[in-house]
């Protein structure tokens, strides 16, 4: 997952699907400042290629990232020289400081395998919040919203290459298995690779419980950047 081949085409293919990281970051910043008007720092967990971080930096002054996949982290560091992008696992990271806000976007939390893993991640993120700090998490689908056998296809054309993406998703117990095949054509020829994404179908109640047990009040906002909603917590206690 998230190796060099995917990192290279990641933003291009999702932009072809209409994804706008800048607008998403601005929208999330608004959600944060509505709840914490003085917010002046943010940590973006599973920040990927850093596509949200530039706008977060403009909105909060200090914006740092955390990313486990080295190819994605390298792109983020190249995009934003001088911005700190930590190497780390969302389940158990410790950075030695707190932030006014922590975000975890684009369903990254769904890649965790168990409820215990998800709860550990929420606890770790909440641990890095100042009192009154805001935690925003974009979930993967809830079990009742998943469509068995879902197929998606996308085509991205740029000046020097064309990228095709087709995916097929099935359910395996509490998880979804998404097989994604990419075809990339440029002046050197045509290359193909396959990614297998396994994401867990945590329930809304499991997320709400994780926030509460991590010392955060929590609300669920419908819609969000990808239609899966947003969990928004405010740290009220140390746990």
Average pLDDT, rounded, for the chain:
97
pLDDT (0 to 100) of residue 204? 98
Average pLDDT value for residue range 39-62: 98
Cα dist from 143 to 69, 96, 139, 148, 211, whole Å: 27, 36, 11, 11, 19
Tell me which of 2.40.50.180, 1.10.275.10, 2.20.130.10, 3.30.43.10 is the CATH number of domain 144-200.
2.20.130.10
Percentage of the chain lying above the pLDDT 70 cut: 100
Average pLDDT value for residue range 26-47: 98
pLDDT tens readout for residues 119-178: 999 999 999 999 999 999 999 999 999 999 999 999 999 999 999 999 999 999 999 999
pLDDT (0 to 100) of residue 152? 97
Q: How far apart (Å, rounded) are the C-alpha atoms in residues 176 and 170?
A: 6
Instruction: State the CB neighbour count (10 A cutoff) for residue 61.
Output: 12
Q: How far apart (Å, rounded) are the C-alpha atoms in residues 146 and 233?
A: 24
pLDDT higher than 80, residue 45: yes
Tell me which of 3.40.50.150, 3.40.640.10, 3.10.20.30, 3.40.50.1100 is the CATH number of domain 4-142+202-235.
3.40.50.150
Q: Is 0.95 topped by the overall pTM? A: yes
Average pLDDT value for residue range 65-91: 97
Q: How far apart (Å, rounded) are the C-alpha atoms in residues 119 and 10?
A: 28
Q: Cβ-count burial of 122 within 10 angstroms (0-12 exposed, 13-18 middle, 19+ buried)?
A: buried
What are the sequence ranges of the domains in the chain? 4-142+202-235, 144-200
Average pLDDT value for residue range 6-27: 96
């Amino acid at each position: 997952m998230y190796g060099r081949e995917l990192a290279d085409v990641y933003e291009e293919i999702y932009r072809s699907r209409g994804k706008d990281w800048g607008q998403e970051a601005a929208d999330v910043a608004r959600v944060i400042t509505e709840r914490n008007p003085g917010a002046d720092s943010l940590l973006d967990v599973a920040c990927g290629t850093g596509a949200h971080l530039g706008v977060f930096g403009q909105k909060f002054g200090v914006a740092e990232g955390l990313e486990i996949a080295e190819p994605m982290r390298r792109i983020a560091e190249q995009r934003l020289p001088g911005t700190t992008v930590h190497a780390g696992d969302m389940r158990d990271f410790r950075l030695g400081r707190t932030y006014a806000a922590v975000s975890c976007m684009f369903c990254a939390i769904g890649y965790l395998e168990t409820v215990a893993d998800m709860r550990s991640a929420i606890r770790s993120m909440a641990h890095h919040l100042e009192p009154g700090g805001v935690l925003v998490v974009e979930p993967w689908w809830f079990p009742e919203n998943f469509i068995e056998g879902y197929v998606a296809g996308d085509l991205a054309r740029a000046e020097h290459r064309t990228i095709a993406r087709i995916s097929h998703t099935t359910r395996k117990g509490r998880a979804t298995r998404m097989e994604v095949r990419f075809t990339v054509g440029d002046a050197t020829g045509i290359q193909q690779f396959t990614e297998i994404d396994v994401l867990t179908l945590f329930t809304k109640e499991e997320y709400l419980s994780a926030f509460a047990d991590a010392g955060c009040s929590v609300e669920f906002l419908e819609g969000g950047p990808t239609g899966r909603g947003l969990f928004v917590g405010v740290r009220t206690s140390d746990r």
